[in-house]
A and B are shown apart, each in its own frame.
Chain A
């Protein structure tokens, strides 16, 4: 599978990322070991310049990681045409033991990179940066996670066997599935929806109260409740099929790629929401709330439009 054009493109970009991240890693190690803001030696000024280079590299990686993540999902989806039994990206993710871990790791790393950049931005707004060392220690951890991601990605694509039968999403995301996912479908739907909409109200409430810590907490909970309700309930209205719960199929053309929009709104809203813990600027909470409300509006609209069209609930 490694020589598939799209996989090859991902692996090549990963190699570039690795080389650049390695430079940033070496510079970060030097900063962590030797930086002292109180000294004015030539080494300190040199480290300051190296810090600019390292942060530019990290920004470059993050900015490319976002479209690359979308391309990764797109690639998984396109690979499903080649793998026996797979109907969408879900089958490809489940085709190897690495798929699910890789997916979680990629999302986690995207968030961590975004948080690093936010910390960096906050630091650059200080007259004299105070947390330079801490910022680069954070990057060292991030580098390790990123390298694991690159390695797991390689292993995953290498382990995919075209002639091995895999489960399709209909099997993986069903109440009769043997996996932990099936427990999700036994949660009471009104309870799940109640949690989802109550979370939306909480976001609004904490925004009005300007309590950024509670807002961040509500935002993290909103992410979980939105994801669960999307798989268990709202997805069925997108597919107009009560038994289909796949979190990947709506990334496909048949559903107007709406999944990309929904996930982008959800991830961005959560990022700004959780990031508001670190900053007293109101703008982050505003963005978070706005994206969450748009998300709620779109998924609710699917349910209501289905009801108005057919006169029944799924």
Chain B
């Protein structure tokens, strides 16, 4: 379903210097798989996620999702692809502090302009799934770290994406909340979502419901 072909990505540090974040990655991830990308900070995990999400373009190589080369998509179509296929949980959640829980969660659907009753139904459904319905109208700045994370996951799931990408999702959480997130992952896996989690949190290693653990070091698969 997801195929990375000879994928490289480098960032310009200065006019003369570039930093190679990824070097010739070849990887296939099947539909419904839960994959843990592990490796130290700066190893290239987040870069892989951003390329799969079409948030950035590779320096060379291809990202194929369902056979479609998404690294060649124009900006408009990349946004459309993200809106339809991707749910992204960011490390710092990237919630809008001045909006309520409901407003944050429904943000990905706004450009699609769905009928109000559909929007409400989707909102209720994901809020129940992640147990935050009682905080519907609360501003996210008033929420705890765990609640904010659940809002971020609900936002990632409201468009019913096929692929869920999570970038260091437990970096700001204590152990109890991290374990709770792992339970959520299990539920999402049961829904046959393709899930890729980039983390260096040992809590994610050796879990029985995880299909694969892939180690990255220095921009290459180990």
Contacts and interface: CB of A to CB of B under 8 A. Distances in A.
B59 A126 contact: no
Interface string A225-252: 0000000000000000000000000000
A37 B73 CA distance: 11
A45 B73 contact: no
Contacts of B58: 40, 45
Nearest to A123: B74
B60 A48 contact: no
B202 to A, nearest CB: 36
B76 A45 contact: no
Main secondary structure on B side of the interface with A = mixed
B73 A127 contact: yes
Nearest to A125: B76
Which of under 10, 10 to 19, 20 to 34, or 35 or more describes the interface residues of A?
10 to 19
A124 B60 contact: no
Contacts of A129: 74
Contacts of A40: 5-6, 58, 60-62, 69, 71-72
Contacts of B6: 40
Contact of B8 (A42, A124, A127, A128): A42
Interface residues of B, number: 17
B60 A127 contact: no
Contacts of B75: 124
Interface in B65-91: 69, 71-77
Contact of A45 (B60, B69, B74): B60
A41 interface: yes
Nearest to B58: A45
B62 A45 contact: no
A129 B76 CA distance: 12
A45 B77 contact: no
Contacts of A49: 57
B74 A127 contact: yes
Nearest to A52: B75
Interface string A17-47: 0000000000000000000010011101100
Nearest to B10: A42
Contact of A127 (B5, B71, B77): B77
Q: Which of B59, B62, B72 is the most central at the interface, judged by chain A CB atoms within 10 Å of its CB?
A: B72
A48 B57 CA distance: 10
Contact of A128 (B5, B57, B60, B72): B72
Interface string B19-40: 0000000000000000000000
17 contacts: A37-B72, A40-B5, A40-B58, A40-B60, A40-B62, A41-B60, A45-B57, A45-B60, A45-B71, A48-B57, A124-B74, A124-B75, A124-B76, A127-B73, A127-B77, A128-B72, A128-B74
The 3 closest A-B pairs by CB, nearest first: A42-B60, A40-B62, A127-B77
Interface of A: 37, 40-42, 44-45, 48-49, 124-129
Given A40-B58, A127-B74, A128-B69, 11 more contacts: A40-B5, A40-B6, A40-B61, A40-B62, A40-B69, A40-B72, A45-B57, A45-B58, A124-B76, A128-B77, A129-B74
